[in-house]
Structure 1
Amino acid sequence: MATPGSFAERGADLRLDQITKSFPGHTAVDSLDLTVPAGSFFALLGPSGCGKTTTLRLVAGLEEPTSGTITLGGKDVTDTKPYQRPVNTVFQNYALFPHMSVVDNVAFGLKRRRIADPMTKAMEALRLVELEGSASKRPAQLSGGMQQRVALARAIVNRPALLLLDEPLGALDLKLRHQMQLELKSIQAEVGLTFLHVTHDQEEAMTMADTVAVMNGGRIEQMGSPQELYELPRTAFVANFLGQSNLLDGEVTGTDGDLLVVRTDAGSLAVPTARAVTTTGRVLVGVRPEKLKVRTAEPTPEAGRNILGPGHVVDVSFSGVSTQYLVEVPGAGRVAVFAQNSKGGPRVARGTEVWLTWGVDHGFGLEAPPASGATPTTQPAPGLQSAPTVGAVA
């Protein structure tokens, strides 16, 4: 393995100031301000068309911004040509030369730039990704995951100030993708380079990145650590894109100590004031499905717990590690619950009358949409539907 930090000679921070990119009839990136600290693993996460790939192309120099500035390591590179920027990109399709050996692929850029001792440096990069034993092979002789590691070694060997990852694991199967997520994170920690990772896969972003910026409509909706974004989303979009949430429309009627009291069509609910984006008027009371418990007998009201029900189980989906229940609750619509299968398979059958409870501290409050009559949102987010969960059934 390479000496920790040996590839980090030129690591630098990235700063975007009021970056806008407009195309005819469409603004892909809208007045974007973003700072990626040197040496961090940073993810831009969002659905197709949100502007994340355009942002990556702007940083790489493959697109020119309509306005704004891009600074890398304190140097303005807004008008710098792509080949003049200390940036390398790892693409989903690897783009390896099929007629060259693995080590020649890695050394190719070094040779073109007439860097001294290119083969030694290439072998060092291959050792870092644990492929030195495959140096003489052709790309076609390697698995998809191994080819991805070759592409990564080829990028790292150039010692870029910034490494851009454009959906790098999208072509891999699920098991290999999970393995590569851990390997990429380990390699980034060892080499110390700045990684900017663009992806639509929530699990991928949460697994690898130190900081995640969720993009929507060319803007950043929310930015923070994966845990912060998941536990305390600030918008309905983030709540349902990064995982899955139940959102119940209600009206703030007052406070009870450090809690907001919210009247919904399904009854009165409480939300910590500190976990609410807005504290007056209409709000959405949110709770993650794994925070809910299913009760087959009416629970006794107690301080610190919300109760919904009675309702009826309308769907039961077994996914191995957990079971997802959909519960129809009058006034609340369909509410999703994830229960961990610690004692076998599903324990509540379809049609059973149940009550739902959750700790008040697990909820959050969001600004309600302008339109009236909003209904709970339990839309699953791609990539996290089968994520391990910790609900309970009693």
Structure 2
Amino acid sequence: MANITTFADKGADLELVGIQKRFPGFTAIENLDLTIPAGSFFALLGPSGCGKTTTLRLVAGLEDPTEGRILLGGKDVTDLKPFKRPVNTVFQSYALFPHMTILENVAFGLRRRKIGDPVAKAQDALRLVELDHVQDRKPAQLSGGQQQRVALARAVVNRPALLLLDEPLGALDLKLRRQMQQELKAIQQEVGLTFLHVTHDQEEAMTMADTVAVMNKGRIEQMGAPEELYELPKTVFVANFLGQSNLFSVKVAGSTDQVIHTDLGGSRISVPRSRSERDAGEITVGVRPEKLRLHRQQPAGHDASINVLGPGVITDVSFIGVSTQYTVESSVYGSVQVFAQNVEAGPAAALGDTVWLSWLVEHTFGLLDDRLDTGALTTEFSTRAIATQAALAE
């Protein structure tokens, strides 16, 4: 990749202060306060209708907040028109002009803004995404991945303080999507822009972002580094939305300074106090499927560092190459998912086997009493992407 560390202006902080967005009959965004540091790759993750796209449109200036302020680099841009904001957007649909060459597409915004030497700047941007060799072709002559990189070059060439990515990889196939995830991250690190990425794809957010904010019903449920959110979710919604989790409703039966002990149908489930949001009464505890181990016999003499459940019956076995996914059913704890890495040839257990389950206490987490309905709000907006891109470039 080309060395263009001075290509784009340095990114700026984005700050949302008390943002609300109300539509007739419902509220899309509730009292959102958010700061995204300059130069970071930030992902808003959530299901359709959670408010993430509305947030992006507010930042872009395509929607006006009902209440609150939007600051970019410390400057209040709440009332600025889209084309006056130092912001560019990359859409899922690419929004390339079909009658223009690739070079003309990238230079379009520069010419509309009467920026000097638009062709040379556009060529620099195409070199950044390694597409300068196709600058004379039309968009229809490029693959989906190449068109997405052209759309990225066209956004970056304007040197925005903030780049908005609206489900940018949703139209690509799995292999190409993963390749583009790596390329987008590399480009962001090279040019130093602030990226705000909106997606419903958990893997995409975790692969690319420095910080992920999980949204639900117009508010942020939890925010942090990808590994932090995955290893230590705080709510049922986050635990279920970001990957898969086995969750159990248990009663606290005792505790020490370090560990909370709970009861699940006669089995003791312990959770580190530092990893639990609650420490009394009925609580929800969980563990990720890949943390579990299968045993054909009840583990004998296990120590306090291990939680054990069983027996249960394997009701489903799915071999997926690197791992085998098991479903274990029990009248005591219900259905549990287990992901076992295939270190040997083939599955280690078979359909109908009776097994016990174990995992390290340190992998257990305790959640807030989360009673939120995960149903999506019907907040859908349709835009004519090419027309919007033209408006933003004015």
TM-score (norm 2): 0.92
Identify the range of structure 1 (356-365 vs 299-308) with the bigger mean alpha-carbon deviation: 299-308
Aligned mates of 1:325, 1:173 — CA distance in 2: 27
Helix, strand or coil at the partner of 2:355: strand
Structure 1: any 5+ residue segments left out of the alignment? 372-394
User: Any conservation in 1 of the 2:18–2:69 contact (CA below 8 Å)?
Assistant: yes
Q: Deviations over 1:3-29 (max 9, x none)?
A: 443133252110001100000111011
Runs of 4+ in 1 over 2 A off after TM superposition: 1-5, 367-371
Aligned mates of 1:291, 1:276 — CA distance in 2: 17
Aligned to 1:55: 55
Aligned mates of 2:235, 2:4 — CA distance in 1: 39
Residue 233 and residue 185 in structure 1: after superposition, are their counterparts in 2 closer, same or farther (change >3 A)? same
In the alignment, residue 6 of structure 1 is paired with which amino acid? T
Aligned to 1:234: 234
Aligned to 1:313: 314
Aligned to 1:156: 156
Structure 2: any 5+ residue segments left out of the alignment? 373-394
Aligned mates of 1:363, 1:5 — CA distance in 2: 43
- Deviation at residue 303 of structure 1 after TM alignment: 2.2
Aligned to 2:341: 340
Helix, strand or coil at the partner of 2:30: strand
Q: Deviations over 1:33-77 (max 9, x none)?
A: 000100000000000010000000000000000000000010001
Aligned to 1:325: 326
Aligned to 1:31: 31
Helix, strand or coil at the partner of 2:271: strand
Aligned to 1:110: 110
- Deviation at residue 298 of structure 1 after TM alignment: 1.1
User: Any conservation in 1 of the 2:10–2:192 contact (CA below 8 Å)?
Assistant: no
- Deviation at residue 341 of structure 1 after TM alignment: 1.4
Aligned mates of 2:133, 2:15 — CA distance in 1: 39
- Deviation at residue 329 of structure 1 after TM alignment: 2.2
In the alignment, residue 351 of structure 1 is paired with which amino acid? G
User: Any conservation in 2 of the 1:247–1:287 contact (CA below 8 Å)?
Assistant: yes
- Equivalence map 1:75-86=2 (5 Å): 75-86=75-86
Aligned mates of 2:197, 2:266 — CA distance in 1: 41
- Deviation at residue 319 of structure 1 after TM alignment: 1.4
- Deviation at residue 266 of structure 1 after TM alignment: 5.3
Name which structure has the greater RCO, CA cutoff 8 Å, separation 6+: 2
Aligned mates of 1:103, 1:193 — CA distance in 2: 22
Helix, strand or coil at the partner of 1:9: coil
Aligned to 2:365: 364
- Deviation at residue 322 of structure 1 after TM alignment: 1.1
Aligned to 1:199: 199
Aligned to 1:353: 354
- Equivalence map 1:60-139=2 (5 Å): 60-139=60-139
Helix, strand or coil at the partner of 1:59: helix
Aligned mates of 1:280, 1:315 — CA distance in 2: 35
In the alignment, residue 258 of structure 1 is paired with which amino acid? Q
- The alignment's C-alpha RMSD in Å is 1.2
Count of residue correspondences: 371
Among all aligned residue pairs of Structure 1 and Structure 2, give the percentage whose two residues are the same amino acid: 67
User: Any conservation in 1 of the 2:210–2:225 contact (CA below 8 Å)?
Assistant: yes
TM-score (norm 1): 0.92
- Deviation at residue 367 of structure 1 after TM alignment: 2.5
